[in-house]
Amino acid sequence: MDYLDLKQQLLDKIKANGGWVNAHAHFDRAFTITKENFHLGAIDFQKKWALNQKIITESTTEQIYDRMALATERMIEQGVYAVGTFIDVNPGVKDRSIKAAEKIREKYKGDIIIKYINQTLQGVIEKQAHEWFEVGADFVDIIGGLPSKDAGHESEHLDIILAAAKKRNKMIHVHVDQLNDPTEHETELLTDKTIEHGMQGKVVAIHSISVAAQPKEYRTALYKKMKAAGVMVVANPTAYIDDGRKEIMVPSHNSATPVDEMVPEGIIVALGTDNIADLHKPFTDGDMWIELRVLLEACRFQDVNELVKIATVNGRKVLGIE
Ligand SMILES: [Zn+2]
């Protein structure tokens, strides 16, 4: 009997289908973990946002460029065809990530397709934050969002970024339902807002993990609505598989984007590394195979052809390449 080497089979098929697509990352803050800050990894999620903001705010354009270059080269080494990376644009870092991003695109233009997306770590509502959001929106290929940074005003946050994307005829990537917590309903809100703004087929939900913590009836109805609105999803498997223990009762599941349910419902799901070697994910090294492996294990999703699509063509779709 011949042993079926499934890893090799997947890698071969991924190559034959155009190569990996890393559909979600934050290259400008990759490799910011140091001997001095590693111990801060234990603090909570929201506090890490503030620390990350401090690191980025204190970075020079050259430091940001070096980090982005290292991350980009790590992608090229693995045969990544295209990457979608967020870059911070806000009153702290101002346009330094934009300047670094321009140089990166020029340097690697023959080697990899890079789509930039603006991270809104200070929200989009406060006056100065909004001004920098508009600067970022003009520069990037895809408009980015993080509604939980405008907590209590998530709808307004989505209205602002959807209108900005529509005005510029750009797609939109939004961090939603990240905490594996049933009190979050951001994917649903994003889907409703997609329909309200007439942005069907142009909206991508990043994470949507908390959907897995909802009752089956809710999930099924949401998938139908997402499919109808053409809302796509990016799963970043290692980014939140380490969700901490909680004393809440939810349907049993792993802390992962429920690809095993979304794909059969016809929802386009792509794959991303998210944070690489920073305060959020000090051990993540940007290895695409590890991300795909964790995704298939976390959801027990073993459909080889669909896994290949998740790693390749679906990534091109969420980045607007095809
Ligand atoms: Zn992210």
Which residues lie closer than 8 Å to 187 by C-beta, 6 or more apart? 176, 177, 205, 208, 210, 211, 222, 226, 231
At 37 the pLDDT is 86
Q: Residue type for 163, please?
A: A
Confirm whether pTM is higher than 0.85.
yes
Query: What is the Cα–Cα distance from 36 to 206, expressed in whole angstroms?
Result: 30
At 241 the pLDDT is 96
Distance from Cα 1 to the centre of ligand 1, integer Å: 44
Distance from Cα 24 to the centre of ligand 1, integer Å: 7
DSSP secondary structure of 25-56 = E-GGGTT---TTTGGGGGS-HHHHHHHHHHHH
> What residues of the chain score a pLDDT lower than 70?
none
Distance from Cα 5 to the centre of ligand 1, integer Å: 32
pLDDT digits (tens, 9 = 90+) for 6-23: 999 999 999 999 999 999
Which residues lie closer than 8 Å to 210 by C-beta, 6 or more apart? 177, 178, 179, 180, 181, 182, 184, 185, 186, 187
Distance from Cα 95 to the centre of ligand 1, integer Å: 19
Domain covering 19-318 assigned CATH 3.40.50.300 in the classification: no
At 244 the pLDDT is 85
At 56 the pLDDT is 86
Distance from Cα 195 to the centre of ligand 1, integer Å: 23
Q: Tell me the domain boundaries of the chain.
A: 19-318
Which residues lie closer than 8 Å to 244 by C-beta, 6 or more apart? none
Distance from Cα 89 to the centre of ligand 1, integer Å: 14
Query: Could you tell me which of 142, 149, 147 has the C-alpha nearest to residue 199?
Result: 142
- For the chain, the first-to-last Cα distance in angstroms comes to 40
Which residues lie closer than 8 Å to 74 by C-beta, 6 or more apart? 276, 285, 286
In the structure encoding, which two tokens stand for residue 127, read together? 């006056």
At 51 the pLDDT is 83
At 52 the pLDDT is 80
Distance from Cα 278 to the centre of ligand 1, integer Å: 12
Distance from Cα 58 to the centre of ligand 1, integer Å: 20
At 117 the pLDDT is 98
Distance from Cα 131 to the centre of ligand 1, integer Å: 21
pLDDT digits (tens, 9 = 90+) for 40-64: 777 777 777 788 888 888 999 999 9
At 145 the pLDDT is 97
Contact 21, 316 (CB under 8 A): yes
